[in-house]
Amino acid sequence: MSLQLNNISSSQGSRCLKKRVGRGIGSGLGKTGGRGHKGQKSRSGCKIGVTFEGGQTALHRRLPKFGFTSKKKMMTKAITLLDLSRISENLIDLNVLRKNNIIGNKIRFVKIIMSGKINRAVVIRNIRISKGAKTLIQVAGGRIEREENSK
């Protein structure tokens, strides 16, 4: 028998009909339809949340709340003296750091920390700086400038 469009069929047992629930005893899923007897889960519209513990106060409500995410922390970054030594410019401020891809565009607060060394004189403008980093920059011949209104 040749294969033609009018006699194509799937192989025996490869496709079975979906069981129809609640259609008589002989179907195997009659009466209760596989839901058991009574109770919340047997009713229609039963959507029990994953945190539900049967009426007992849920774990996430028994434990205390703590902390929050600081918005300022999302806009703050610590940079090292090693990062500064990679910049070719002598005057360093937020715009120079952004231009050299050391900080992102959303960063508004920067602090320079002492990690690594710097061998050339640089001028740091309006950037917070740790004591150790400040001494290393001043030993290298650099200086720190701050405007009156900047914190």
Instruction: Summarize pLDDT for 31-53 with one digit per residue, the tens.
Output: 999 999 999 999 999 899 999 99
Max CA pair span of the chain = 95
Query: What's the domain count of the chain?
Result: 1
CATH code for the domain of 83: 3.100.10.10
Residue 25 tokens read as 């005893």
Return the pLDDT at 134.
95
Return the pLDDT at 1.
65
Which residues are paired to 124 by β-bridges? 92, 144
Return the pLDDT at 33.
92
Model confidence pLDDT, tens digit, residues 62-120: 999 999 999 999 999 999 999 999 999 999 999 999 999 999 999 999 999 999 899 99
Whole-model pTM: value is 0.56
Cα separation, 111 vs 93, in Å, equals 11
Q: With respect to residue 129, please indicate whether it lies within any of the assigned structural domains.
A: yes
Q: With respect to residue 45, please indicate whether it lies within any of the assigned structural domains.
A: no
Range of the structural domain that residue 138 is part of = 75-145
Alpha-carbon torsion angle 38, 39, 45, 46, nearest 10: -150
Query: What are the two backbone dihedrals, phi and then psi, of residue 85, each rounded to the nearest 5 degrees?
Result: -70, -20
